[in-house]
Amino acid sequence: MARNNSRFLAVLGTTFRHAALPLLGFALAATANAGSFQVNPIRIELAKGTTTAVVTVRNDGEEPVVLQSSVLSWTQEGGKDVYASTSEALITPPVMTIVPGAEQIVRVGLRRPADPRTELAYRVFLQEVPPPPKPGFTGLQVALRVGIPMFVAPVAAPAVRKLDWSAVMGADGAIQLVAQNPGNAHVQITDLELRVQDASEPIAHESTLAYVLAGQRREWSLPAAPRAKSASELRLKASTDAGEVDTAVRLDR
């Protein structure tokens, strides 16, 4: 199935306005590992009055790695991430070659004022440019694209991070879970669990790495749960960077 020039692209994100890209997910720890390179930090937060940030990229592999860098605007539509080209931020260098064991500093600069009341969101992308396959190679080359969230704090209002939850059961029994963020700053969600009230076992559990941007919403489609068919309310537990969630959620139909 794989040919010499076969490549996959791993992207932290789902929807691009200007390019359709396949998606492969991978977990983030203290650093983000992508092929033979690491990036640090894995999230950029520009506090009030700050307009620049630095990302360190290290090549831990045995071969030089060529990377392209870009920064895109980040919004959410229909519960999904959307990325688009922007002139509001600048990243340098746009292309870099890092030899084994070396580090490269990437600088990101904001070219517009921060919003007075609402957090701005962008993604910094580092795209590996794979070398030509070696003679006789018949395996699978992997080109990875790492997306680093970048948030710009509002300058005239405190950050408010809050989620409102709702759930709807479809005709097939699947549950559509929605997190709406009425605040002016993002919330990151890392774990979700739904139970029928007072039940000992969850009807759905998902480990995730999702952001709900300011004023936006995110959706999850969870498998059919026969135990929830007669329920009017579910118990939701979620882990977020704004605190632990343990709340009742009305189940609509």
> What confidence score (pLDDT) does residue 142 get?
73
Would you say residue 2 has pLDDT above 60? no
Distance CA 160, CA 168 (A): 26
pLDDT at 17: 39
- Does residue 41 have a cis bond before it (omega within 30 degrees)? yes
Q: Are 106 and 57 in contact (CB under 8 A)?
A: yes
What pLDDT score does 76 carry? 94
CA distance 76 to 97: 33
Distance, in Å, from the CA atom of 14 to the CA atom of 83, rounded to the nearest integer, reads 8
Q: Give the mean pLDDT of 194-210.
A: 86
Terminal CA-CA length for the chain: 44
What's 147's DSSP letter? E
The CATH number given to 7-152 is 2.60.40.10
In 3-state terms, what secondary structure has residue 228?
helix
Work out the pLDDT band at 36, boundaries 50, 70, 90: confident
* Residue 222 contacts residue 207 (beta carbons within 8 Å): no
Give me the percent of the chain exceeding a pLDDT of 90.
62
CATH 2.60.40.1930 spans which residues of the chain? 164-252
Residue position matching structure tokens 């076992």: 201
Strand partners, 252: 168
- Which helix H or strand E contains 217, and what residues bound it? strand 217-222
H-helix or E-strand spanning residue 106: strand 103-110
Q: What is the rounded average pLDDT for all residues in the chain?
A: 84
Q: Looking at residue 7, what is its pLDDT?
A: 37
The pLDDT of residue 20 is 32
Q: Alpha-carbon distance 168 to 239, whole Å?
A: 21
Q: Give ∠ CA 22-23-24 in degrees, rounded to 5.
A: 130
User: What pLDDT score was predicted for residue 131?
Assistant: 77
Q: Which overall architecture, per CATH, does domain 164-252 show?
A: Sandwich (2.60)
Band (216; pLDDT cuts 50, 70, 90) = very high
Tens of pLDDT, residue by residue over 136-189, are: 777 777 778 899 999 999 999 999 999 999 999 988 888 999 999 999 999 999
Lowest-confidence region among 73-77, 215-219, 224-228: 224-228
Task: Specify the higher pLDDT residue, 21 or 210.
Answer: 210
The pLDDT value recorded for residue 106 is: 98
User: How far apart are the C-alpha atoms of 144 and 166, rounded to whole Å?
Assistant: 35
Q: How far is CA 63 from the centre of its chain?
A: 28
- At residue 229, the pLDDT reads 81
Mean pLDDT, range 109-130, rounded to an integer: 95
Q: Confidence band (pLDDT; 50, 70, 90) for 49?
A: confident
Q: Where in the chain is the domain with CATH 2.60.40.10?
A: 7-152
Spatial contact of 9 and 21, defined as CB atoms under 8 Å apart: yes
